[in-house]
Amino acid sequence: MPELPEVEAVCQKLRRDALGALILRARMLRKRNRALEARVRGRRIRAIERRAKNVLIHLDGDWSLRVHLRMTGNLYVIADARHLPATARAWFELEGHSGLIFDDPRALGVIEIHRTDDLAALLGNLGPEPLSRAFTAETFVSRARQSSTPAKVYLMNQEKVAGLGNIYAAEALHRARIHPARAMNRISSRKLTALHGEIVAVLRHAVKSACRAYSGPGSYNSEENFPVAVYGREGLPCPVCGRGVQRIRQAGRSTYYCPGCQR
C-alpha cells in the first residue's frame, strides 16, 4: 500500500507532468460519476499537494479532486490518453492529448470532487504532518504521554500522526528501540523524543528514495535504497543485534520487531 513517502513521490511527479494543464474531458470508467466528469471539464490544474495519504488536485473555479490510492492505486501521466492501461479506473485528457490516469487494479481507491474550501473540514480529523513544523517533539511527547494505546497502534492512528503507515512506523520504533506493544504512557519522555526524531528521519530518507525510484505499488526499482531493518523480515537476523525478527498481530495488521533491540 502506498504510504506517505510513496504518495509524496506521486505528487511530485504529477507537479512535474500535469501542473498547469487544462483538462479537456474526463471519464470515470468503473463507476460512472457524471457530476465529476462535468465539473472538471475545461478546468486547469492549479496546484497539487499531499495531505496525509491523500492526493489533492486543485482546479480553478474552487474545485478540487481528492484521491486516496488505497492498496493498489497510482496516478500518473501518459503521453497519449488513448493508450489506457486495462486497470485504469479514471482518465483525464489533458491539452496536447496526454492523459492523467488513475490506475487502480483492485478498484479500492477513492476519487472525489469537492469545493476547495470544504477540504479543511473534510480532512480536519487528521493529525499533524510528520514532516511539517507543526510536528514538534514537545507536542508529540505531550500527546503520547496521555495515551495507553500500544506504540505501533498509536503511530498508525491518522489522528495522531498523519500519513504514517505500517512500514515506516515499524522501522521508526526499531530505530528508537521501543517494543511495538508497549503503551505510549509507559515509555519515557527521553525515548518518546527519540521516537519523534526517528519518525522524521525515516520518512525523510524514504521520501528521497521514493521520489527517485517509485513507479507504483508492488513494483520495485533497483534505485530504491530505503533499508528496512525489520519490516517483512520475519525470521531473518536483525542487522543491529543479530536476533531473529519476529511478527505479531496488532489491530489486524502484521507488526515486525526485534526482541533483542526493542523492549
Establish whether 3 is a catalytic residue. Answer: yes
Residue 41 lies in a domain: yes
CA dist., res. 217 & res. 206, Å (int): 15
Establish whether 239 is a catalytic residue. Answer: no
Neighbours of 182 (CB within 10 A): 16
Each of the 263 residues of the chain gets a pLDDT tens digit; together they read 688 999 999 999 999 999 999 999 999 987 778 899 999 999 999 999 999 999 999 999 999 999 999 988 999 999 998 899 999 999 999 999 999 999 998 988 999 999 999 999 999 999 999 999 999 999 999 999 999 999 999 999 999 999 999 999 999 999 999 999 999 999 999 999 999 999 999 999 999 988 887 777 755 454 456 889 999 999 999 999 999 999 999 999 999 999 999 98
Q: What are the tens digits of pLDDT across the range 197-226?
A: 999 999 999 999 888 877 777 554 544 568
* Residue type (1 letter), 35: A
Q: Are residues 74 and 106 in the same domain?
A: yes
| Domain ranges, residue 60 | 4-122
Residue 130 lies in a domain: no
Establish whether 253 is a catalytic residue. Answer: yes
Catalytic residue among 53, 152, 175, 233: 53
pLDDT number for residue 186: 97
Q: Are residues 78 and 167 in the same domain?
A: no
Catalytic residue among 143, 145, 247, 253: 253
CB-based contacts of 258, cutoff 8 Å, min separation 6: 174, 229, 230, 238, 240, 241, 243, 245, 246
Say which residue the cell 503520547 belongs to. Answer: 144
Residue 16 lies in a domain: yes
Length, in residues, of the chain: 263
Establish whether 53 is a catalytic residue. Answer: yes
Residue 87: CATH number of its domain: 3.20.190.10
Catalytic residue among 2, 5, 105, 180: 2
Q: Are residues 171 and 238 in the same domain?
A: yes
Neighbours of 259 (CB within 10 A): 13
Neighbours of 263 (CB within 10 A): 10
CB-based contacts of 194, cutoff 8 Å, min separation 6: 176, 177
Domain count, the chain: 2
